[in-house]
Chain A
Amino acid sequence: MAQITLIEAVTQALAYEMAHDESVVVLGEDVGVNGGVFRATQGLQEKFGELRVLDTPLDETTIAGVTIGLATAGMKPVAEAQFEGFIYPMMEQIACHAARMRNRTRGRLTVPAVWRAPWGGGIRAPEHHSEANEHLFTNIPGLRVVMPSSPARAYGLLLAAIRDPDPVMFFEPKRIYRQYKEEVPDDGEALPLDVCFVLRDGTDVTIVTWGAQVKEALEAADALAEEGISAEVIDVATLAPLDFDTIAESVQKTGRCVIVHEAPKTAGFGAEIAARIAEECLYDLLAPVERITGYDTHIPLFRLEMKYLPSTERVVEAAKRTLAAS
């Protein structure tokens, strides 16, 4: 079985589903001949033709709106935003129509579509190529927001997203697109949406994160283990709708929680998790909840970029602070 990267897992999932479901179509800028600027759709146009892997005119509003029309007409479109920084013009179509169609029509019209976007910083990209903006979508009712953090979860979650009967935002953490390989059987097995994955069991502190930061969280857990501290690491994976039960169960056990994300702190998705913990687990807490996040600034151009991104050390220190508090 081949070892593949996260981006190759995306391609593998798309190819699998296109081969098994004729209604799946891929559309976006440069997704065809070029196979996408990150090569996520490489080889798909050769296999499935120019109409099922469609290079669109350069207009995100067009891509998002046409995706809705395709979906309501019985196709299963997978649209690509070339970078998450260019997803803003798509938001009107997604928020005003994709997310509302089922509710608005009492279930008569539905939007079984996926919007994929390379997400996040850390690859020395130019301006507008490094945004972390998942929280903008978690606040829109009717949308699923999914973020894989490994090749296997990219494959399984993307299959699930395409098969899901409702609109899904699928954010791919590009910092780890090619960071490592893992065995991912091409068996068409989807992973469940709407559940968190507990990646590491622990008893002293819960580290909650998603996407690229899973790497820092696991590294932090390793470092903490060396000091005899047992950290549980939770990959949220589907941010909306949130599986809060898994997080609550862990926090009830450890009494401490560190939330890690790359997006700005204020009104970032960490705020939602922290608020839910305050609402539902306050009396289980042994220490204040910590958030280690990006700053409330635009992500800087790359000379300063690494100073913006949350580091493993910051996560370790936050975890220790929660232990020192009680």
Chain B
Amino acid sequence: MSIAAKFEIEYLQYLDVEGKQVRDDLPKFVTNLDHMVELYKLMMSTRVFDAKSVALQRTGKLGTYASCLGHEAAHVGIGSAMKPEDVLAVSYREYGAQLYRGVQPREVYMYWGGDERGNDYQNEPARHDFAWSVPIATQCLHAAGTALAFKIRGEKRVAVCTIGDGGSSKGDFYGAINIAGAQNLPMVTVIVNNQWAISVPRKIQSGAPTLAQKGIAAGLFSIQVDGNDIIAVRKAMEDALERARNGQGGSVLELVTYRLSDHTTADDARRYRGEQEVKDAWAKEPMKRLRNWLVAKGVWDDQKEEAWKTECDEWMDNEVNAYLQTKTQPVTAMFDYHFAEVPADLAKQRDLAISLEKKA
């Protein structure tokens, strides 16, 4: 029998669940311990940010919110590997990556607080990134188009998109990786496999043993990564970005992690998943292993942890206050951003809305 194709999917991990190194060939960035501390600090601030968001929602100050608890290594790993000139297309919970790119917590609060201004990121490089994409997987195609633009213009930039395990079932995802392979696009597609798409477990999404191997069908470099190990995430991302930048084409990374929270604040995960599973997942969570590793290297300790926690709390309190102080947009904001100029007929509707507002 002749064989037409064969493939293997590598699994990348550097730190085990306790933070012990499982291989010696650590990537170069790891030698910069200050930077490793920075990564840990951003993971922590992401977690503090997330806890504040949930608390805000519980007290009626946000609408539905999608938590990122447990995704800190995946998200910060993605954001920190990217260069400012790259473009990020996220779904709706990758705050750790976005904070790295300058999205402010107050902007996230505004978005989930029912105010479009949260999408108007003030800081570069986030300002040239896409906004949150709620319709699942649609952003993958935007990233492909952006990557095509980079290729056409000969720019050494990369488009990165993130997608969930559930989202990787969608045609848009397949379409995006397919054109990335066919056109050799500078695009990195990251599947954040947190095991659940609301109540639907990973195994119902696909009969394939890995989600990474979907990239093989598209002709892309594909790898599965321990998504709770920031060293592995960062390394896989850096390699993928470099290949893309050098014209060697796109990649599909599957980051294996776990959603420690409910899907959103409107969801109750106890309805569909067992306590033991969540307990086991907590044992593998991403912060502990990096902390242990940093402590073993002598660059982190309880005191520093406390001090940084305090700083994070202050930062987030400040952001929360800034958000709470924003006034609702005027009713005209509903009309003013649909076209470069408000068309005459729409302007009449805007006048009507203004007059109704005056009467109310």
Separation of A295 and B204 alpha carbons in the complex (Å)? 40
Residues on B with beta carbons closer than 8 Å to the beta carbon of A59: 169-171
Contact indicator A57/B114 (Cβ below 8 Å): no
Separation of A303 and B206 alpha carbons in the complex (Å)? 38
Contact indicator B267/A37 (Cβ below 8 Å): yes
Q: Could you give, for residues 236-274 of chain B, a 1 whenever the CB lies within 8 Å of some chain A CB and a 0 otherwise? A: 000000000000000000000000000000110001100
Contact indicator A265/B349 (Cβ below 8 Å): yes
Separation of A222 and B58 alpha carbons in the complex (Å)? 37
Q: Which of A14-22, A270-278, A279-287, A304-312 contacts B (4 or more CB under 8 A)?
A: A304-312
**Interface residue ranges of B177-206 to A (CB < 8 Å):** 197-200, 204-206
Contact indicator B166/A295 (Cβ below 8 Å): no
Cross-chain contact of A303 among B135, B199, B329 (Cβ < 8 A): B329
Q: Could you give, for residues 23-50 of chain A, a 1 whenever the CB lies within 8 Å of some chain B CB and a 0 otherwise? A: 0000001101111010000000000000
Contact indicator A126/B170 (Cβ below 8 Å): no
Q: Which of A85-93, A96-104, A229-237 contacts B (4 or more CB under 8 A)?
A: A85-93
Distance from B211 Cβ to chain A, minimum over Cβ atoms (Å): 12
Contact indicator B271/A33 (Cβ below 8 Å): yes
Residues on A with beta carbons closer than 8 Å to the beta carbon of B55: none
**A249 CB–B CB distance under 8 Å:** no
**A297 CB–B CB distance under 8 Å:** yes
Cross-chain contact of A314 among B111, B345, B356, B357 (Cβ < 8 A): B356
Contact indicator A128/B135 (Cβ below 8 Å): yes
Identify the interface centre among B198, B206, B338, B345: most chain A CB within 10 Å of its CB.
B198
**A296 CB–B CB distance under 8 Å:** yes
Residues on A with beta carbons closer than 8 Å to the beta carbon of B272: 33-34
Residues on A with beta carbons closer than 8 Å to the beta carbon of B267: 37
Identify the interface centre among B166, B169, B200: most chain A CB within 10 Å of its CB.
B200
Distance from B109 Cβ to chain A, minimum over Cβ atoms (Å): 12
Contact indicator B115/A57 (Cβ below 8 Å): no
Contact indicator B338/A297 (Cβ below 8 Å): yes
Residues on A with beta carbons closer than 8 Å to the beta carbon of B115: 301, 303
Cross-chain contact of A88 among B135, B169, B357 (Cβ < 8 A): B135
**A302 CB–B CB distance under 8 Å:** yes
Contact indicator A296/B345 (Cβ below 8 Å): yes
**A200 CB–B CB distance under 8 Å:** no
**Cross-chain pairs A/B with CB under 8 angstroms, 16 sampled:** A29-B197, A33-B199, A34-B199, A34-B271, A55-B200, A58-B166, A59-B171, A62-B171, A125-B63, A125-B64, A126-B92, A126-B134, A265-B349, A296-B345, A297-B334, A304-B334
Besides A57-B200, A62-B169, A311-B356, 7 other A-B contacts (C-beta < 8 A):
A29-B197, A57-B166, A58-B136, A297-B349, A300-B333, A301-B116, A307-B334
